[in-house]
């Protein structure tokens, strides 16, 4: 299938608007486009919004705050189950200085590997290592969500051993 652009899905040009009606702010529009793009192009390994851009035109950087997290995480859905290409696509966001982009890349890694059983198990190795050194709550949440999505239903004892100290620690926030 050919990838679709979110604007082709929204078709906002067909809506009738009243003269004084407010428009969504650009952050909300970008977030909506990110989600629509990810779900419409899920598994295609190609899209017209995120994968195509490099450098300053990169869609992830066109967002702010949680929008960056969602945009980085959406790469996992676009590349889902294509481990080789997906890891390359996600890797460039893992070492960024922006916390939300890093957290989104951890979540993307979990989405990318959801339901996959692989002897190399790079996802566990990467995320377990990142969790061990994570000091920021945003990063921990992204890592935990990534691990949860990648290994849901696997009943892995090593995963339980890894995440239990974080979950049972009463000093952690409710999000963790």
φ, ψ of residue 133 to 5 degrees: the values are -100, 0
Residue 131 contacts residue 98 (beta carbons within 8 Å): no
Residues 110-164 have pLDDT tens digits of 999 888 887 878 888 889 898 888 888 899 889 999 998 988 888 888 888 888 8
- How far apart, in whole angstroms, are the C-alpha atoms of residue 20 and residue 37? 29
Q: How far is CA 44 from CA 24, 41, 79, 81, 87, in A?
A: 29, 6, 7, 10, 15
Plot region of 144 (φ>0 → left; ψ -120 to 50 → alpha; else → beta)? alpha
Q: Which domains does the chain have, with CATH numbers?
A: 6-168 (1.25.10.10)
Identify the pLDDT of residue 14: 57
Residue 147 contacts residue 110 (beta carbons within 8 Å): yes
First to last CA, the chain: 39
Q: Name, of 50-54, 56-60, 125-129, 169-173, the range with top average pLDDT.
A: 125-129
Structure-block tokens of residue 146: 């990534």
* Reported pTM: 0.81
Residues 14-40 have pLDDT tens digits of 566 655 555 557 788 888 888 888 888
Identify the pLDDT of residue 108: 92
Identify the pLDDT of residue 17: 60
In 23-163, the DSSP E strands lie at none
- How far apart, in whole angstroms, are the C-alpha atoms of residue 67 and residue 101? 9
Residue 78 contacts residue 39 (beta carbons within 8 Å): no
Q: Which of 97, 124, 100 is nearest to 112 (CA)?
A: 124
Q: Which of 89, 90, 103, 92 is nearest to 135 (CA)?
A: 103
- By CB atoms closer than 10 A (0-12, 13-18, 19+), residue 100 is buried
């Amino acid at each position: 299938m050919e990838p679709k652009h979110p604007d082709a899905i929204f078709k906002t040009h067909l809506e009738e608007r009243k003269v004084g009606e407010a428009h969504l702010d650009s952050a909300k529009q970008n977030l909506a486009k990110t989600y629509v793009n990810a779900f419409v192009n899920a598994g295609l390994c190609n899209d017209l919004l995120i994968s195509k851009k490099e450098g300053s035109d990169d869609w992830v950087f066109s967002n702010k705050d949680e929008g960056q997290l969602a945009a980085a995480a959406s790469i996992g859905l676009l590349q889902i189950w294509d481990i080789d290409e997906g890891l390359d696509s996600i890797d460039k966001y893992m070492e960024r200085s922006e916390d939300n982009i890093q957290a989104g890349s951890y979540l993307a890694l979990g989405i990318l590997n959801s339901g996959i059983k692989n002897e190399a198990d790079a996802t566990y190795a990467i995320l377990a290592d990142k969790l061990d050194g994570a000091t920021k709550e945003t990063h921990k949440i992204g890592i935990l969500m990534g691990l949860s999505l990648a290994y849901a239903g696997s009943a892995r004892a090593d995963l339980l051993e890894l995440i239990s100290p974080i979950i049972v620690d009463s000093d952690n926030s409710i999000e963790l």
